[in-house]
Structure 1
Amino acid sequence: MSDSTSLQQVVGMNTRRLRMEHGVTQSALATAARQQGLRWQDTRISELERGLLPLSAETVFALGYVLQTVTGREISLQDLFEGSEIVSLNSALTTPLRRIRELVSGGSFAQETEAGRFSWTPEGVAVGIEALSELHDRILTPDQRAHWQRHNRHGGMVSAQGEVKALRALAVSASTLSALSFATWGHSLAEERSRRAQPGDSPQKHGRITRDLLAELRTTLEAAGG
């Protein structure tokens, strides 16, 4: 998967996931869609699941009703936006899928830092740095933090080169990504990716490795309350 994807691709992938988890055929889904006022044939479901079908807000809401009907379970908008990908909203704006889920659950569009909203005054920056330090204290044990800081002093753990996708997906700073990586594996994300990847691995295998790494980092972050 590329560094970013579209919302219609995300909705398509999750539609397919929900359909297959409940043993629903594309034909049955198309029939249910028509009953909800969507003029969809089987081929339209295929286009939807491959991310080729342009989706309006009205269609997404109707799709939720359709999936709830055919699966027999409650479906929320969050189910349609499940995943850890970076979503491209337009040529200039991208956001992690978790932010989309926060928004459909009532979150605001205000931009936030890891330390919360604060103004760029000397006092505000000081508050942000203090809160970020507290987050690192929750991520790392005292022994890990001392070892991590030694690595950082020598430049071994702070570089974010090649880690743009992780920074965006987790919505963290380079220093926090470094701390998360050290707490999770004892070394950087780049080192762990190199350890798991083998020469000649397919792009699909590299994609699975990246998703696994992000999931492990996210688990560490959530355990720290970040």
Structure 2
Amino acid sequence: MATTTSDLPDVEPSLGFVVGTNCQALRLEAQLTQDELVARLHMLGLRWKRSNLSALEGGERARPALAELVLLAVAFKRPVGDLLSGTGHVRLATHGPSVRLADLRSFLSGGPTPAELEAQLSTPMGDPANPLPPPAERDMARRLGVPISWIFDAAEQQWGHTLTEERDRRVESMSDTTDENRRTRRASMTKQLEVSVQKLVERRQLGHDYK
């Protein structure tokens, strides 16, 4: 029986939300407990704890790794596309276009690149539809020598949005912030928040999960 994602929100969900929703549906369909599915994953070499699976099914992991999707599909003895069941669009990255789930499933089966991604690549840099990443993320990625997507992923795991958004939210919440001291406080807050992000990035460099 095909898995559905009728519980997906009206807004464009993250890839992790879609995968988590479908993972839970497939698990219940197979009459597996979370512990039983984790045991299957362990046999395949994915050393997840139950908390990792719970986080995925709860939509707390915005962008699961491709290897995790493959191993989950093998554990269910189902095609990878079943973890992407549903209609509508899904957002693959915090800063990027959303794509139709149907097009994404087709792409993973050897079909053409989703039109939304092709259009994004053809948009000139500097165009409002394709803005440059914020300086804080660019500088941190350059300093650590990692893809900028890792910085976005770590911040998403930590706060549910970007480092820049978290910094600005905290600075603006300070009651005595003025135009004169805003820049100084942003710089100071960026350094504080980068500590948490760097810890997660370093875990990823060692091959560990963010949790």
So what's the TM-score if we normalise by structure 2?
0.47
The structure with the largest alpha-carbon Rg is 1
So what's the TM-score if we normalise by structure 1?
0.44
